[in-house]
Amino acid sequence: AISFNNLKMDNWTAALLTGVACIVGYLVVRVKKINSLRQAEEKIKRARNRRDESLQRAEQAVLRYKQSHPTTDSAFILTLSLSELTQQLKEGSLTPEDVLYSYMEKVQCFQQEFNILQSDYKDQGPFKDGLLYGVPVSIKENITFKNHDCSCGVIINLDQPAEKDSVLVQVLKKQGAIPFVKTNLPQGLLSCDCSNPIYGQTVNPHNPQKTSGGSTGGEGALIGGGGSLLGIGTDLGGSIRIPASFCGICGFKPTAGRLSSQGVCPTYRGQKSVLSSPGPMARDVDSLALCMQALLCDHMFSLDPTVPPLPFNMEVYRTTKPLRIGCLENDGYMHPSPSMARGVREVKALLEQAGHTLVPYHPLKMDEIFPELMVKGFLADGGTISSCLCQHEGSLWNFHIIHVLGMICFIFRSVPELWKQHAAVEDYIQETIAHWRSCNIDVLLCPVIGPAYNLFYCTAISYTVVYNLLNFPAGVVTVSTVTAKDEEELKHYKGCYQDMWDKLFKEAVTGGEGLPVAVQCVALPWQDELCLRLMKEVEQLVKQSKK
């Protein structure tokens, strides 16, 4: 009996100790999570305080300048195109300070409405011989600017200010530009929306119920609203072109490698299937070309020897010879919205009237390569890195979707599998180039997604991401606005597959009457100037048609 009772006591003690250990373990985990959340909240508070303090300093600087320069006509300055502005700056009829403080004042107006992130400007004396002398330039938040964070909208990246400027910022300064503001982006970058837990939501300058797009949505909102006339963004899947389409401006994704990516921070490094590229955004195509000309200089080639030393070819950009243009209205994977398709048809007619030859073009195997090459390329790690980044920080829905999709469907289980996928990408690029040449086309005209989505939607990027996969230069030009007829036709939209994604796309673009409509122009790798030339042609023809 004594032995039995002792045995019972031992079991009871063991159970009690196990229970206590479980409770202690739970409490430890709970305390760690609470501490982690508290630390995240403190980081967010510090980041917002830094933003607010810089805004206050900028506001005070603007007031001092206006008081000492009461005759400065800021309203007039804000109406000037980039070419007009650079001319007046070089002539001396305007000073860099006149221009800078006019745009800084405009940014103050946009801060509350569009959620723009302000950085400090310190007068370092812009280089007067530069192509961008005295031009204020806005910068996407993930491009390093000395003493400022590059969070990518992720809390864990806060409180790590950059030790030096990115190569692009250094070159901009060398060319006389004045980087003066950093702009918002979505959490983790991979989104068609523009919201993160640090700085919140950025909205469309034409309709606050719509998104500015992503991931370069802060640039799209600021330039589209008149608060900047030139900005630098990054494009992985359409991150320059989608905000340009949504906000009614121009945006250009160069061939990856044409511009330096040193100091341009991705969400995670090492992904090689779908290539990212920095590029310019502006109100017109000439501004994009001027920015590319300024960046493609000996200073950039010296700072980053991995960039091929190819200066901007102005002769190609200015050529007027007729082009043979491929025309794509539907990629067969995602049916375009009525306004997307109409935009392409109207521009096709204008190009034909101008003497260009338009021929049908259809991309290869979109239903196969979108999930197998593009999506798997994005999520080759099964969402592991995105999971680590968003842990403990109240992640937004788009980051959770990326992680879950990666875990369920797209993880590569071995290095040979990953290499096989890389080889398939290489094969698809060569097949597409051969197909392009069999069509005997110089460039391609095709849709870009639009109009601007309702808030919190992220869907339908096949029209843009394919050119990141192929590494073809691509740009966007605004050509029209959504009509009442477009909205009526949208009611009957079914899509290609009549599935959840088609339904989500229809919901996303509903209610877009009056919003911008854009088209996309594409060229073969390293023919960036030819792509810009088609964009310029489209821009001019559309402008002439409206007279």
Catalytic residues: 140, 215, 239
In 3D space, the residue among 462, 519, 509 whose CA is nearest the CA of residue 486 turns out to be: 509
What count of Cα atoms within 13 Å lies in the side-chain half-sphere of residue 247? 39
**Is the separation of the CB atoms in 459 and 192 below 8 Å?**
yes
Structure tokens at 234: 């990054």
Q: How far apart are CA 433 and CA 229, in angstroms?
A: 35
Pairing of strands 516-522, 443-447: antiparallel
Joined together, the tokens standing for residue 75 give: 């309203």
**Residue 236 and residue 441 in contact, taking contact as beta carbons nearer than 8 Å:** no
Q: How far apart are CA 118 and CA 180, in angstroms?
A: 8
CA atoms of 404 and 478, how far apart (whole Å) = 35
**H or E element that contains 12:** helix 2-68
Strands 324-327 and 443-447, bridge-based pairing: parallel
**Any bridge partners for residue 118, and if so which?**
181
**DSSP strand pairing (178-183 vs 195-196):** unpaired
DSSP helix/strand/coil, 532:
helix
Burial class (CB in 10 A: 0-12, 13-18, 19+), 3: exposed
Q: Which residues pair with 520 in a beta bridge?
A: 446, 476
Least Cα distance to 317 among 121, 100, 475 occurs for 475
Q: Is 162 exposed, middle or buried (0-12, 13-18, 19+ CB in 10 A)?
A: middle
Read off φ and ψ for residue 118, nearest 5 degrees: -95, 140
Q: How far apart are CA 105 and CA 183, in angstroms?
A: 16
Task: Tell me which H or E stretch contains 475.
Answer: strand 474-481
Residues 6+ apart with CB under 8 A from 251: 216, 220, 233, 235, 240, 241, 243, 244, 245, 279, 280, 281, 282, 288, 475, 476
CA neighbor of 478 nearest in space, from 528, 511, 522, 520: 520
Spatial CB neighbours of 137, under 8 Å, sequence gap ≥ 6: 172, 177, 178, 179, 180, 228, 230, 231, 232
Neighbouring C-alpha atoms within 13 Å toward the C-beta of 221: 36
